[in-house]
Chains A and B, each alone.
Chain A
Amino acid sequence: MKSTYYNREDLKKFGDISKFQKKLGDKFFDYYNSVFEEGALTSREKSLIALAVSHAVQCPYCIDSYTSSCLSKGVDEEQMMEAVHVTAAIQSGASLVHGVQMMDQVNEKLM
């Protein structure tokens, strides 16, 4: 039995998900690889977006993977941290914008 929920080594086994459901696994990885190809966005831009999203979904595998990817593509530390701040800004903004709902409710309830 593993002693922790997350194991660094498991990232290398990501491809193994196809062993239990090959058809869907293959479709997913085809799609995944296509998404990160150069397109209207550069693969560098996509890596930075992926880094920001990795923090939003708080996936340690994704954070490791896209930190390495950003480093390989020449992204500097400041740019990476700005991407994480974008995540934080959207996440905190998403909480705060719900404050309007709270305020509306308050206004409806109070005399």
Chain B
Amino acid sequence: MSFATLKRQERRLGSPEGQMVVLDDSDSICLPSFSSKLEAIGLYPLLPMRIDTLQINVGKMCNQVCKHCHVDAGPDRKEIMTRETMQLCLDAIQESSIETIDLTGGAPEMNPDFRWFVEELSQLGKEIIVRCNLTIILANPKYSDLPAFYKKHNIHVVSSLPYFSAKRTDAQRGDGVFEKSIKALEILNTIGYGKQGTNLKLDLVYNPSGAFLPGNQADLELEFKKKLKDGYSIEFDNLLALTNLPVSRYLEYLINSGNYEEYMSELVSAFNLSAAASVMCRNMISVGWNGYLYDCDFNQMLELKVQGANHISEFDLNQLANREIVLNQHCFGCTAGTGSSCGGSLSD
């Protein structure tokens, strides 16, 4: 597994432009446009519903280089949100009806102002989610107190664990990641995360380790709970089953493995009306490391900014609630099968 990001390697798909060339060329593989699918069911243009979540990407730096990462995150990425931009986020949140703050990265904890930001956010009385990759807790002694820090601020921890075995997890996330993830989960369990009777919520994120769609979320959750409990005495609250979207490294994997056309066809064939009506971009705004606003984290990586005022310094929830959501072919990933969002499946 390479430890350099696509950007560092100056690969074609390391740039949003390179990815858009591939995604925009749906005619050559005979696929309908996502917009036309929405138009056929009366959902185009796609408009927001109640915006209650702000997902903030505090930087692309990460201690892992996962094969499927849509951020192309890794140790060599230097894009990091500054404290000034964080302050703009705090100002925007304070004056809005946003209820949930979803912190992501990269490994968000690697931002030097992460803890300051969480402390400030927790004073606003909002639900705070941190998308923790687990291994960061063991990556360096300076991160070993993260579980206690999460507990102190009642953080809802959401962590990726693509499978309940080392083979598939390590194939996607790097050698030794499964073992470290289990150790981190043990630590989180020990202080109460994922345990019944505590309010410390620990969710796991499942995403397929290959070119296939996730199955039923409830069934997968049962399987994960059994395997992790029986094999490692690990407990957690919910499993969120996510579909891999054809963006960045996963897009490159699909192309290099010869699976791109078939995967895209599968996404289109599995288009689900009910999932389309509930896609996450209708309820959230995504903030990039440099303060620009996007309809979701995937649009952020493709640099498809929201329509209208598009920086956190000019955050206007009313205006954002009346925008048209920017769409492209990767959006089929959120509407396939039971649907997919940062909160898991969108329908049964």
Contact = CB atoms under 8 A, between A and B. Distances in A.
User: Is the pairing of A and B real?
Assistant: yes
B216 interface: yes
17 contacts: A12-B265, A43-B216, A43-B219, A44-B215, A44-B219, A68-B212, A72-B215, A73-B215, A73-B216, A73-B219, A73-B220, A74-B163, A74-B215, A74-B219, A74-B220, A74-B224, A76-B165
A42 B265 contact: no
Contacts of B213: 72
A71 interface: yes
Given A43-B216, A68-B212, A74 B223 contact: yes
A71 B210 contact: yes
Nearest to B210: A71
A71 B207 CA distance: 11
B168 interface: yes
B108 interface: no
Interface residues of A, number: 12
Contact of A72 (B165, B167, B208): B208
A23 to B, nearest CB: 24
Contacts of B216: 43, 73
* Interface SS of A by simple majority: helix
Interface of B: 163, 165, 167-168, 206, 208, 210, 212-216, 219-220, 223-224, 265
Q: Interface centre among B167, B206, B208, B219, by most A CB within 10 Å? A: B219
A101 B168 CA distance: 47
A45 to B, nearest CB: 10
A62 to B, nearest CB: 16
Interface string A60-91: 00000000110111101100000000000000
B338 to A, nearest CB: 11
Nearest to B220: A74
A35 B56 CA distance: 45
A73 B265 CA distance: 19
Contacts of B208: 71-72
Q: List 4 A-B pairs, minimum CB-CB distance, nearest first.
A: A73-B215, A72-B215, A71-B212, A74-B223
Interface in A23-70: 42-44, 68-69
B205 to A, nearest CB: 14
B333 to A, nearest CB: 14
Contacts of B210: 71
A110 B111 CA distance: 87
